[in-house]
A and B are shown apart, each in its own frame.
Chain A
Amino acid sequence: MVMEFLKKYPYDENIPRRTLWIMKPFVVVSKLFVKAVIHRDVAILYPYEDLWMPDNYRGRPGLRFEKCISCGICVRMCPTSCIELVEVLDDAGNTVKRPQINLGRCAFCGYCAEYCPVDAMTVTPEKELAEYTREDLIYGPRRLACDKINKNMEVHLEETLMSDIKNGNSERRVNAFMTDRPILDSSKCISCKKCEKVCPVKAIKMIEHGVNAKGRPILWPEINKDICVCCHNCVDDCPKSALHMDEVL
C-alpha cells in the first residue's frame, strides 16, 4: 500500500507534501465548519430575509410617468420587443403615449433605461414578479411606476466614440447615440410637415424657402440640434426618405 502510494506520487520538491496528505479534506472541512458557525453562511432564509441588492440592480424596468416624452427609443432598442407604446390619459386628462412592458418577454437587460434620453425609464431593484396568469405580467404605464426610484437607478450607456478619439477628445459620452442628428436631403422633401408632427420634443420647425411653380410655399424642416433627442421618429415617418441620421460633432 505504501509502495503503491510512493509509486503513484513520487517525491518531487516542487509539489508540497501537504497536498497529498490524507488529512487534507478533514482540515478543509473543519475550517469551513468553523467559518460557517462563526460567520453568517451564504444561504439566506429567503421569504423572511432578503439579499442585499445594489441600487442599480437590473430588476424590472420602472417608469416615471411625468418625465416621459413618448419618443419611443425604448420600443426601438428593446432586444426582445416586449415594449410597445399605448395611449393613456395623463394627469391633466390628455391622451398621451407611454410604454407598456410585457414582463413575460422582458430579458431584464435594462437597455430601455440606458437609452432613455430623459431618464424617465429606469431600472428598479424589484424582482418578485410572480403572477398567476400571463396577462398579469403585462405592466401598463401606470403600473410601471416604482416608488423606490432614486438617482442611482438611472443607468447610462457610457461610450467613447471613434470620431471623438480622432478629434483628440477621449472623454466618455453618456449616450453615444445622442451625437446623431437628422440631416435633410432637401431635393426629396415634399413639404408634408409629418416630421414636425411626430417630433416628441418639438425640435423641428418648418421654414419657408420661397414658392414652387404652383405658387405654394416650399417648407423645409429645420432641426434645433440642442433639443433633439435623436429618436429617429422623423426619419422613420418621412414618406420620401428625405431625412437620414448622421453623426454631427
Chain B
Amino acid sequence: MVYSSILDWIHFPDVMSNMYYPFDVYNLPYDISYKLWELLGGTIAWLINLLLPGNPVSTWLICDEVVNMFALIIFMIVIFLVVFIATLISLWEERKVLGRLMDRRGTMIGMKGFLQCVADGLKTFMKENTMPKKVDKMTYMWTLSLVIGTSVLIACMIPLSQRWFVVDYSTGLLIIMALFALAPFFILVSGWGQNNKYSLIGGMRAAELMISYEVPILIMIATTALMAGSFNIGDIVNAQFNSTWYFIPQIVGFITFFFCATAESERTPFDIAEAEAELVEGWQTEYAGMKWGLIMLGDYFRGYVACAMITIMYLGGWLLPWDPLQINTYLPELTFLIKTWFVFFMMIILRGAIARVRPDQILNIGWKVFMPLSVVNLAIVLMLKIGGVY
C-alpha cells in the first residue's frame, strides 16, 4: 500500500484556471468557497483513499467539475451569510441607536447587545406555529414565502464590490427595483387571504404606498443611469470614481430618493401598512411564530437593500471618499457596508425624529412633492449632461 500525503490531495490552483469557472472576471467569494472545498473535499478524498486505496471516488471528489459544483454551493452560503450578518448588524444598530435617541441603553445581551438578534430568532423559532382556521391556506403560505424569498434574493443580488457579486448583469438596478416592486402584490394578496379586516386594510395600504412611491424611485434610477450611461452597478460606481459622487450634482434626487426608499421599505415614519397603533400588526397580523420572525427579517433585508441602493447611486458605492493613492481595492466590501450602515443610521434618525404620517398625507407627499422633485432632478441632470459637465 502506497501512503499518500494529504498534501497530494489539497493544492490551491488558480480559480480562473478551472475550465468550468462560471464568471468572466475574478470573484472573491467564489475564490474563498473554491479554496474551502479544496480543503474540505481534499481531506475527505484523502481519508477515503486511506481506507480504500485507488478508489475512483477520491479522484472524482477533486476533479474540476465536482469542485466547481461544491464551490458553487458553498458560494451561495457565503454570499447569504455575509448579507445576513450585515442585516443583523443593521438590526442591532437600529436597536442601539434608537435606544440612545430615547436616552436608554438598547439591547444588552452579549457582545454589546448583538446576540439579542440570536435570542429573538430562537424565541420566535420556539413559538407554536399556529395557523387560523379560516385563512386561504395557499395564498397565506405562498405569499409569505414569496415576500421573504424576494427580499432575500435582492439582498443577495446587491454586489459589495467589483469582485464580490453573484451575477454581473447589465441591467443591475432595474432588476433589483423590479424584484423590490413585486412585494406589494404579494402583500395585497396575503392581506386578502388572511380573512381579517386589519390585514386587508394593511395590505391595501402597503399596495397603495408602494405603487405610488415606485414612480419617483424609477424616475430617479433612470436619472442616475442617464448620468452614468449604464444600468450596470459596477459602471455606475466607476462613473462616480471618474467624476464626483452623485449626491453632489443630484442633491435634490438624493434627498428625495432617501425618503422614497424609506417609504418603499415600509420603515417608520412611512409604516402605514404595519401601523401598530391603529391596525394590529397590519398585513402581518395572522402570522405567528417563526413566520412573523421571518417577515421581520425580510423587512430588514429590504431596508438593507434600500440603503445599499442609495449607497450605490449617490454615495459612490465601494469608493473611498479621499483616495489620492488610488488604493481603491483596499477592502471595498467593508467600505460599502460601512456606507450602507451609515445610510441606515440616517434612516434611524428619521425614525426617531418624525411621527408617522397619515395615509392621505403619504399619498399627497408622494404624488405632489416627491414626484415633481424627481422630475426637477431629471431636468437638472439633463442640463448638466447637455452642458457637457458630466
Contact = CB atoms under 8 A, between A and B. Distances in A.
A36 B368 contact: no
Given A1-B369, A29-B349, A33-B349, A41 B104 contact: yes
Contacts, number: 37
Interface in A1-58: 1, 25-26, 28-30, 32-33, 36-37, 41-43, 45
B101 A32 contact: yes
B383 interface: no
B222 to A, nearest CB: 25
A30 B346 CA distance: 10
Contacts of A32: 100-101, 103
A29 B352 contact: yes
Interface size class of B (residues with CB under 8 A): 10 to 19
B101 A26 contact: no
Contact of B368 (A1, A25, A30, A33): A1
Main secondary structure of the interface of B (DSSP, over half): helix
B349 A30 contact: yes
A26 B353 contact: yes
Interface size class of A (residues with CB under 8 A): 10 to 19
A45 B103 CA distance: 13
B97 interface: yes
Contacts of B100: 32-33, 36-37, 41
Contacts of A33: 97, 100-101, 349, 352
A83 B368 CA distance: 70
B371 to A, nearest CB: 12
Contacts of B368: 1
Given A1-B368, A1-B369, A45-B108, A29 B353 contact: yes
A32 B349 CA distance: 11
A42 B105 CA distance: 9
Given A1-B368, A1-B369, A26 B349 contact: yes
B211 to A, nearest CB: 22
Interface string A194-234: 00000000000000000000000000000000000000000
Contact of B101 (A1, A36, A42, A43): A36
Nearest to A26: B353
A28 B353 contact: yes
A42 B349 contact: no
Which 10 A-B pairs have CB atoms at the shortest separation, nearest pair first? A25-B353, A43-B104, A36-B100, A29-B353, A42-B103, A26-B353, A29-B352, A41-B103, A33-B100, A43-B105
Interface of B: 97, 99-101, 103-105, 108, 349-350, 352-354, 368-369
Given A33-B352, A42-B103, A42-B104, 13 more contacts: A26-B350, A26-B353, A28-B353, A29-B101, A29-B349, A30-B349, A32-B100, A33-B101, A33-B349, A41-B100, A41-B104, A41-B105, A43-B103
Interface of A: 1, 25-26, 28-30, 32-33, 36-37, 41-43, 45
24 contacts: A1-B369, A25-B354, A26-B349, A26-B350, A26-B353, A29-B101, A29-B349, A29-B352, A29-B353, A30-B349, A32-B100, A32-B101, A33-B349, A36-B101, A37-B100, A41-B99, A41-B100, A41-B103, A41-B104, A41-B105, A42-B103, A42-B104, A43-B103, A45-B108
